[in-house]
Amino acid sequence: MSSNERGFKFWLSAWWPVVAGVVVIAFESTEFMGADNTSTPMRIIFEAIFGPVSGARWEIIHHYIRKSGHFLGYGAIGLAWLRAWWMTLSHSRFLYDALLALFGTALIASVDEFNQTFLPNRSGSPWDVLLDCCGAITLQSLVYIFMRTFRPKRLARAA
In the chain, domain spans: 10-158
What does pTM read for this prediction?
0.87
Strand ranges (DSSP E) for 11-156?
none
**What's the pLDDT score for residue 2?**
52
Q: What is the pLDDT of residue 143?
A: 95
Query: How many Å apart are CA 124 and CA 61, to the nearest integer?
Result: 20
pLDDT of residue 30: 92
Cα distance between residue 73 and residue 117, in whole Å: 20
DSSP 8-state class, residue 67: H
Q: What's the rounded Cα separation, in Å, for the pair 107 and 124? A: 14
- DSSP type of residue 30: S
Spell out, as residue ranges, where the chain has pLDDT lower than 50: none
In this prediction, residue 153 carries a pLDDT of 74
